[in-house]
Amino acid sequence: NAGVTQTPKFRVLKTGQSMTLLCAQDMNHEYMYWYRQDPGMGLRLIHYSVGEGTTAKGEVPDGYNVSRLKKQNFLLGLESAAPSQTSVYFCASSPTQETQYFGPGTRLLVL
């Protein structure tokens, strides 16, 4: 039982490049979330999903898109990366709307 896994662990992008971050969970959770973590700002919710085929905007959705084609996977896309998107990205899943289980994070550097 791997829990929540994230791919890749670390990535460097140039401004304007695109990439997709993958989150996978093997706990059959309905809810999945993408956060970004910046120094001194805690975690801020980017997008979330309440079930397969659904997505919704969080607190800071601009510049990101997401998809939940399969229940176990939640993809976060950056179409045109900007230096302001340099951050650590965390995925989480939850069986309810409360306790969340987090992945190990993806560190992204945009030059």
Partner 1 sequence: GNSVTQMEGPVTLSEEAFLTINCTYTATGYPSLFWYVQYPGEGLQLLLKATKADDKGSNKGFEATYRKETTSFHLEKGSVQVSDSAVYFCALNNAGNMLTFGGGTRLMVKP
Q: Closest approach of Cβ 100 to partner 1, in Å?
A: 6
Q: Are strands 19-25 and 31-37 parallel, antiparallel or unpaired?
A: unpaired
Among 15, 18, 80, 97, binds partner 1 (CB under 8 A): 97
Residue corresponding to tokens 């980017």: 46
From start to end of the chain, where are the E strands?
A: 4-7, 10-13, 19-25, 31-37, 43-49, 56-57, 65-67, 73-78, 87-94, 101-102, 106-110
Among 74, 78, 90, 108, binds partner 1 (CB under 8 A): 90
Which among 6, 48, 52, 1 is positioned nearest to 27, based on CA atoms? 1
C-alpha dihedral sign at 89, 93, 99, 102: negative
Scanning 14-22, 48-56, 60-68, 69-77 for contacts with partner 1 by CB under 8 A, the matching segment is 48-56
Segment 2 to 41, residues that bind partner 1, using CB under 8 A: 4, 31, 33, 40-41
C-beta closer to partner 1: residue 9 or 82:
9
By CB under 8 A, tell whether 45 contacts partner 1: yes
Q: In the complex, which residues of this chain contact partner 1 (CB under 8 A)? A: 4, 31, 33, 40-45, 48, 50, 56, 58-59, 90, 92, 97-105
